[in-house]
Structure 1
Amino acid sequence: MARPRILVVGAGFAGVACVRRLERKLEPGEAEISLVTPFSYQLYLPLLPQVASGVLTPQSVAVSLRRSRKHRTRIIPGGAIGVDPKAKICVIRKITGEIVDQPYDYIVLAPGSVTRTFDIPGLVDNARGMKTLAEAAYVRDHVIAQLDIADASPDEKERAGRLQFVVVGGGYAGTETAACLQRVTTGALRRYPRLDPKQIKWHLVDIAPKLMPELGDKLGATALDILRGRGIEVSLGVSIAKAGPDEVTLTDGRVLPCRTLIWTAGVVASPLVRTFDAETLHGRLVVSPELRVGGLDGMFALGDAGAVPDLTKGGDAICPPTAQHAMRQGRTAAENVIATMRRRPLRRYEHKDMGLVVDLGGRDAVSKPMGVELRGLPAQAVARGYHWSALRTNVAKARVLTNWVLNAVAGDDFVRTGFQERKAATLHDFEYTNDYLTADQVREHTRALTVRG
């Protein structure tokens, strides 16, 4: 009898947690486990702002997938671009560009999310995101390049444009990115004596009326005061009306000379969820408390891709797309796949949110662990302690801790790698959002397979 084929899509928090639990709980030879991911690492996404600011090296937050003690999973190097639930086939574009078809008996969809964009003129071509390791490395190179060019330029107008930076999005990613990078450019003044401190300006823009509303009014106001106290201009109730290569127009009519627009205004589920017919809620697949996609045999969805009911809150609440939920959902999905195989009852996913941590760089932070509001060094200790403990391998923990100590002692370096110096850097380039098939294309593809077979 053929062994069941389990396919996990995505190597984020949810996908990796699922694979690790499958490897631990399944007997050797009980099932075939495959993981689809373009990279052989799990990205620790919450620390990307520290990569962009140079506090951490890229390798520090790229946790190897091949350091598992029971590494029995076949890693398929590519991205899932379509799923046919009826034929039970996942269409994969390998990193070579080759299209392959992966049959499955059980599929766990954890493809993560992509940057949410709107129909704003010039946005996609002129904004940089902060969703991938390559984007974080590019943003760092780009910001340092602006300092280098401005330092060498005799043109005051060009210098003003090069030294003005705009971050859109007042959530965790945008706030931490603006805070960490602003700290770098402020520290750069010692290394760039020709730069005028008054010309270096950071803007944080968000259409919402509050900064990080999940923190609550008190801590949100504290974070706002910290940012403004450091010279960051925070504009709430405002967004981008138009983006150009050398200026940004805000919805309140202001035109800012700017060569650096960083877009972190939310995320949407991976386009993979639109490649087959299933019910969605706010772009995420509707699933049961057991993480099953209704009406589709053998399919589970979780993390950013699944609208998982939040049983602790009740009602119509769904779990927020956070790392702590994703990891626990991954373990629950693995248990339920195994239970389905062994014809046992399935578990419902239930977890109470443990709180939030926001690292603003240096000694600045705000945190709310288990409902306790903290700020300053205590909040920083909690934030970094949480991130450090959540890293999956001891090697990653050692790298991150070493980088933190080195940065605290030696300060920042202003080195550009230059590996993407002359390449256009659009959101589509980094997140491959144009690679996905439509539902009709997937059905036609699998129908052709049947005919050939």
Structure 2
Amino acid sequence: MSEKQRVAVVGGGFAGFTAARTLSRMARGAIEIVLINPTDYFLYLPLLPEVAAGILDPRKVAIPLAGVCPGVRHLLAGVDSVDAGNRRLRCTDAEGNPRDLGYDRLVIAVGSVNKLLPVPGVAEHAHGFRSIAEALYLRDHLIRQIELADATGDPKERQARCTFVVVGAGYTGTEVTAQGQLLTLDTRRSRPALRDQPIRWILADLAPRILPELDERLSRTAHRTLAGRGVEIRTGTSVAEATTEGVELSDGEFVPTRSLIWCVGVRPDPLVESLGLPTEKGRLLVDEYLNVPGHPEIFACGDAAAVPDLANPGKYTAMTAQHASRQGKQVARNVAASYGRGERKPYRHNDLGFVVDLGGAKAAANPLGVPLSGFPAKVVTRGYHLLAMPGGRARIAGNWLLDTLLPRQTVQLDLVRGPAVPLTSTSPERPGGLSG
């Protein structure tokens, strides 16, 4: 090449971050790599429930892009539109200024946002869980409800404030329930007036079991662990309506509560639909090489891409962090191959198993297909997260050690108010519709 070519990577989540980092190592300065993301960090989402529980400092799960992506130019902005015909991006930077950027290769890895369902009142009264801001808000909210319950003399209000409803029993909903319940129990412990007050947690999902995407044995382990702590697990159930006084479940029961946590899943970032390219349920269609058909210069990976699952013909890979990271590596190799560096290969995957943290010393895991529960699963779960983290491992391990040795601080930080994290729009960490 007579001059440097520019590769633009849109999105700094698992897929985009891994793609930019891998390509930088392969290109060794021969290609200009621009990573466009509205934050200056990579967010390790699987540990966000521990941020909400006060176990981890939020900075521990925010890995600075400048420190772990050498050779990558970071543009602090959100992408508004893509002109595929002229190979240009229209962006808005962190201060609201428009930016225009040309590219030779484009990697679309914009990730996903909260999935909304047409349930009356949910948009006004529920809060999602996809960002640091949402995790900090939830932590303050849970502690605040226990404190307000302690302050009121009305038994009905007290019960409502001590009732928490989580909708969605996938990874996020299950872990948020597990960690959130332990946090509220810790908060109650220092308030003698609430000693006999039940703390009620309800985990609801339309699926026939919690963690439906996991092996049934792991699902049973998680169900047994949470139910043993007193969590009410409502399968085949969802929310019919949400109000300021509580939620009506689809089975007809009205639950007085001030806490509705929305974890029903995710949908591809709206930017994908605006591209004018073929999609499948909101995900950009690509071939097995992660290339957009008819556009050899455009690649896509992660939650934004409908990637053929070669292990299950006719299906697409699931929207998981494990797939996103691996696809990010493969898309980097295929982009490099398009410049004559190596050979492009199709995306294939082998299931390494899954881990679910259930709070305390409990977890469920199946590394390489071996089912584990209890403390052994906890060791595997935390070991997996440490290995998967691109940096800051010692700091995270230090926080875990302190949480084991010292009582948890149950105080409100009052950093994020509810109006700052509405369910109906992208979070402050994802302006312009861009997610990780």
TM-score range, shorter chain: over 0.9
Does the 8 Å CA contact 2:163/2:201 hold for their aligned counterparts? yes
Structure 1 position 148 matched with structure 2 position 144: no
Paired amino acid for 2:9: V
Question: 1:388 is matched with which residue?
Answer: 386
Q: Deviations over 1:407-429 (max 9, x none)?
A: 11112111111122474531235
Deviation of the 1:282 alpha carbon: 2.3
- Work out the CA distance in 2 between the residues paired with 1:405 and 1:434: 35
Deviation of the 1:43 alpha carbon: 0.6
3-state SS, counterpart of residue 160 of structure 1: helix
Question: 2:178 is matched with which residue?
Answer: 179
> Structure 2 matches for 1:202-213, cutoff 5 A?
202-213=201-212
- Work out the CA distance in 2 between the residues paired with 1:57 and 1:277: 41
Question: 1:42 is matched with which residue?
Answer: 42
- Work out the CA distance in 2 between the residues paired with 1:252 and 1:197: 28
Question: 1:131 is matched with which residue?
Answer: 130
Q: Which moved more, 1:338-347 or 1:15-24?
A: 338-347
Q: Deviations over 1:39-71 (max 9, x none)?
A: 111111001111111111101111111113x62
Question: 1:21 is matched with which residue?
Answer: 22
Paired amino acid for 2:381: A
- Work out the CA distance in 2 between the residues paired with 1:341 and 1:406: 48
> Structure 2 matches for 1:2-401, cutoff 5 A?
2-28=3-29, 30-68=30-68, 71-311=70-310, 313-342=311-340, 345-393=343-391, 396-401=392-397
3-state SS, counterpart of residue 119 of structure 1: coil
Structure 1 position 406 matched with structure 2 position 402: yes
Q: Which moved more, 1:331-340 or 1:183-192?
A: 183-192
Deviation of the 1:22 alpha carbon: 1.5
Question: 2:416 is matched with which residue?
Answer: 420
3-state SS, counterpart of residue 401 of structure 1: helix
3-state SS, counterpart of residue 364 of structure 2: strand
Deviation of the 1:81 alpha carbon: 2.1
3-state SS, counterpart of residue 110 of structure 2: coil
3-state SS, counterpart of residue 67 of structure 1: helix
Deviation of the 1:157 alpha carbon: 2.1
3-state SS, counterpart of residue 25 of structure 2: helix
Residue 410 and residue 285 in structure 1: after superposition, are their counterparts in 2 closer, same or farther (change >3 A)? same
Structure 2-normalised TM-score? 0.95
Does the 8 Å CA contact 1:428/1:434 hold for their aligned counterparts? no
Q: Which moved more, 1:220-229 or 1:422-431?
A: 422-431
3-state SS, counterpart of residue 213 of structure 2: helix
Does the 8 Å CA contact 2:148/2:161 hold for their aligned counterparts? yes
Question: 1:442 is matched with which residue?
Answer: none
Deviation of the 1:219 alpha carbon: 2.2
Paired amino acid for 2:371: E
3-state SS, counterpart of residue 292 of structure 2: coil
For structure 2, list consecutive stretches of 5 or more residues without a partner in the other structure. Answer: none
- Work out the CA distance in 2 between the residues paired with 1:164 and 1:143: 10
Deviation of the 1:326 alpha carbon: 1.3
Question: 1:451 is matched with which residue?
Answer: none
How many positions carry a matched residue from both structures?
Answer: 432
Deviation of the 1:196 alpha carbon: 4.5
- Work out the CA distance in 1 between the residues paired with 2:76 and 2:424: 20
Residue 409 and residue 26 in structure 1: after superposition, are their counterparts in 2 closer, same or farther (change >3 A)? same
Q: Deviations over 1:124-170 (max 9, x none)?
A: 12111111111111100111111111111222222111111000101
- Work out the CA distance in 2 between the residues paired with 1:129 and 1:422: 11
Q: Which moved more, 1:97-106 or 1:256-265?
A: 97-106
Deviation of the 1:308 alpha carbon: 1.1
Instruction: Considering Cα pairs closer than 8 Å and 6+ residues apart, tell me whether 1 or 2 has the greater RCO.
Output: 2
Does the 8 Å CA contact 1:7/1:107 hold for their aligned counterparts? yes
Q: Deviations over 1:62-93 (max 9, x none)?
A: 1111113x622211112112212112112212
Deviation of the 1:246 alpha carbon: 2.7
Does the 8 Å CA contact 2:52/2:138 hold for their aligned counterparts? yes
Does the 8 Å CA contact 1:42/1:64 hold for their aligned counterparts? yes
Q: Which moved more, 1:398-407 or 1:180-189?
A: 180-189
- Work out the CA distance in 1 between the residues paired with 2:195 and 2:81: 51
- Work out the CA distance in 1 between the residues paired with 2:28 and 2:93: 29
3-state SS, counterpart of residue 66 of structure 2: coil
3-state SS, counterpart of residue 194 of structure 1: helix
Q: Deviations over 1:393-438 (max 9, x none)?
A: 1xx101110110101111211111112247453123553789459x
Deviation of the 1:345 alpha carbon: 4.0
Paired amino acid for 1:154: G
Residue 421 and residue 134 in structure 1: after superposition, are their counterparts in 2 closer, same or farther (change >3 A)? closer
Paired amino acid for 2:23: L
Residue 189 and residue 434 in structure 1: after superposition, are their counterparts in 2 closer, same or farther (change >3 A)? closer
Q: Which moved more, 1:337-346 or 1:155-164?
A: 337-346
- Work out the CA distance in 2 between the residues paired with 1:343 and 1:397: 32
Structure 1-normalised TM-score? 0.92
Residue 233 and residue 197 in structure 1: after superposition, are their counterparts in 2 closer, same or farther (change >3 A)? farther
Percent identical pairs in the alignment equals 42
Paired amino acid for 2:279: T
